[in-house]
Amino acid sequence: MADSCLKEDKMQAHVARNIARYTRIFLAAALLAGGALLLLHHARASAAVQTVVTVEFDDGNADQYQALAMLNAHSMHATFYVNTGFIGDSTHLSWSQLQDLFAAGNEIGGHTLTHANLKHLKYADAHYQVCQDRDNLLAHNFQPTSFAYPFGSFDAGTEQIVAACGYNSGRGVSGVDDHKVFAETIPPADPYATRTPPNPKQGTTDATIEGYVTAAEQNGGGWVQLVFHHICNSCDAYSITATNFQSLLDWLQGSATNGVVVETTAQVIGGPVNPPVPA
């Protein structure tokens, strides 16, 4: 009888030790899992608040070529939206210059053949303006996936044309007001109607442009598209001086420590390079 009680006591002690040991193992595993989930949460949170800036140039104006050296010096890339009907004339970039920009890592996107206001055209004419422009870029070995609407003028019909011609996105010239909307979302709710802050003009200071980026940082991050037309000294209402553009790139480079990154439109949107579509 005594031996039986002793065996029972030993068995209970053994069970208790196993329970304690497995409890410690379970708690350790739970803590490790919790830590992993916490790290994942922080990683996702950091990604969610990242601010991405895209430097963009519209119209393919000849004075934009000087941006190449400044972008290279900062290891940055921009998106250039061009009208292929004007390439090579006295006031626009040449095909050779576009190749230089592309070879350096910049994106070449479409902007219609002749800067046409698509909303004012019949379907066939609008389709030709968008598709032929893209086909011209493909024929010169570019990879056009991004489009910008001339004058920022578009509607549901023109969005459909841009998509049908093989583009992955379409950009307007407004929609970010720094009051209710501080940045475009990533990914955009409508990739064929992406929004921008006001396009910088001749009198727009670097502080104002930088403020668009800072406002996005302070309000949950997102995508800030900065759209330029000319780099010159007062040659056009929509222009920025070379000095101010250089200073802006310096500031963007310094903002990398705050999580600001500079990417092309194609990098933000993603997607394939679609085959040509007959105009």
Q: What is the pLDDT of residues 140-152, one digit of tens each?
A: 999 999 999 999 9
When pLDDT is averaged across residues 200-223 and rounded to a whole number, the result is 97
When pLDDT is averaged across residues 30-43 and rounded to a whole number, the result is 37
Same domain, 6 and 87: no
Q: Out of 24-33, 98-107, 170-179, which region has the weakest mean confidence (pLDDT)?
A: 24-33
In the chain, the DSSP E strands lie at 51-58, 79-82, 107-110, 146-148, 169-175, 194-196, 222-228, 230-231, 239-240, 260-262
Q: Cα–Cα distances in Å, from 67 out to 28, 60, 93, 134?
A: 56, 12, 12, 23
Domain termination site, one of 15, 33, 48: 48
DSSP codes of every residue in 23-59: HHHHHHHHHHHHHHHHHHHHHHHHHHT-EEEEEEEET
Whole-number Å distance between alpha carbons of 100 and 116: 26
Q: The domain spanning residue 199 has which CATH number?
A: 3.20.20.370
Is the residue at 278 inside a domain?
no
What pTM was computed for the model? 0.83
- Residue pointed to by tokens 């950009």: 171
CA neighbours within 13 Å on the CB side: how many for 177? 4
Instruction: Identify whether 278 is preceded by a cis peptide bond (ω within 30 of 0).
Output: no
Angle, to 10 degrees, between the axis of helix 123-139 and the axis of helix 156-164?
30
Same domain, 85 and 200: yes
Mean pLDDT across the chain: 88
Domain of 31, in residue numbers: 1-48
Is the residue at 276 inside a domain?
no
| pLDDT one-digit tens code per residue, 80-115 | 999 999 999 999 999 999 999 999 999 999 999 999
Same domain, 128 and 190: yes
**pLDDT reported for residue 222:** 98
User: Bigger pLDDT: 136 or 5?
Assistant: 136
Same domain, 86 and 123: yes
Q: What is the tally of structural domains in the chain?
A: 2
Same domain, 159 and 170: yes
Is the residue at 275 inside a domain?
no
**pLDDT reported for residue 35:** 38
When pLDDT is averaged across residues 214-222 and rounded to a whole number, the result is 97
- Residue pointed to by tokens 């709710």: 189
Whole-number Å distance between alpha carbons of 275 and 138: 8
Q: Out of 18-22, 37-41, 92-96, which region has the weakest mean confidence (pLDDT)?
A: 37-41
